[in-house]
Structure 1
């Protein structure tokens, strides 16, 4: 198999950070390019760090460059954007969709996206509606394959403090055994498992649209 160039958005997040380490350690990837808003002081022979203004289309396209596989792990919280839905949409919708459009333009073969369990463009929940709209709008782009990952609560370390999430991380794993049948997809999952599933999907021969919920990631 020819070694690939991977581009990662959201490499400083919980899943993205683990994904970055896995890609750097995987011999199937010759280059790993990450797009970041702020300078990142980290070095590795395979790593390219590009500072980007996601609100500037030209900057976005220039820093994305050429590649084979695009991983999108971006996301924000209502707290971080002060409950501003417009600002929320810029991160959780505009960046993933614009990235997909640019990657298709530059002939990337695969696009891998972290979405959320329950995502639907028809959801009454703003967050899930936004995630569902992203899924819908990238699904027709001309990639060889599109891989959508829908985790529930992510387990792992975050650099930022999220009190409610920390409480849920402490409680929900103990209740996972109760989530059976159709509820299994709502089981919390380790961020490392999601990252590993993304790498495996990127190296697979799967074609078309692929969706991964709990049982396909654990």
Structure 2
């Protein structure tokens, strides 16, 4: 089986770090490139890192993004406390710029976009962030990638030893066992999310929208 060369964005955030940790551990992954605005502090024989401040213009590093099998796009911001224009620019405009560049450079790439539970594919709902995420998902799907998968995780528990854990998680961690029992299809581990990304890259999946129940199914079937 071919070993994967993958790009991960957002590795200095909770989701990106979890995906990175799993990719570095997996035999299926031969090489990982992370692209960050600041140094991640990670070191590993498989790992390469590019520090680039402006994700709205990645032309200076474009040639270095060629020859990869997958991109696990984990970069994003919360809509809380952010005005509509800034959220749109950081969520839609930035993501599409990176995705368009990667599609041009890597037509055989699988692009996995971390969206969120409740994303609005119709782009017509009342919730602003859900409409913007839905538009982003829809327009990524139009790009000439080999495969596109939109991940819609709910509650995600971090990998042991993670450095970049959302403070909200520590406040709510006591609820995790309750959520697992009462709402099992709303929670997964970041290890499961990363594993599902690797599996759909290698084997595909019947749906391009990956909900929590799909993450569970993909990680069980392997």
Q: TM-score range by the shorter chain?
A: 0.7 to 0.9
Distance in structure 2 (CA, Å) of the matches to 1:9 and 1:34: 6
In the alignment, which residue of structure 2 is the partner of 1:118?
Answer: 118
TM-score (norm 1): 0.83
In the alignment, which residue of structure 2 is the partner of 1:216?
Answer: 214
Distance in structure 1 (CA, Å) of the matches to 2:115 and 2:200: 15
Q: Secondary structure at the match of 2:208?
A: strand
Deviations 1:54-112, CA, capped at 9 Å, x for gaps: 02242363453431111101111245xx5233222232222322222111101242111
Distance in structure 2 (CA, Å) of the matches to 1:207 and 1:170: 33
TM-score (norm 2): 0.81
1:2 aligns with 2:2: yes
Q: Secondary structure at the match of 1:70?
A: strand
Q: Secondary structure at the match of 1:203?
A: helix
Unaligned runs of 5+ in 1: none
Distance in structure 1 (CA, Å) of the matches to 2:90 and 2:100: 15
1:155 aligns with 2:153: no
* CA-based RMSD: 2.5
Q: How many residues align?
A: 209
In the alignment, which residue of structure 1 is the partner of 2:199?
Answer: 200
Unaligned runs of 5+ in 2: 217-222
- Pairing of 1:8-157 with structure 2 (within 5 A): 8-52=8-52, 53-59=54-60, 61-78=62-79, 82-106=81-105, 107-120=107-120, 121-156=123-158
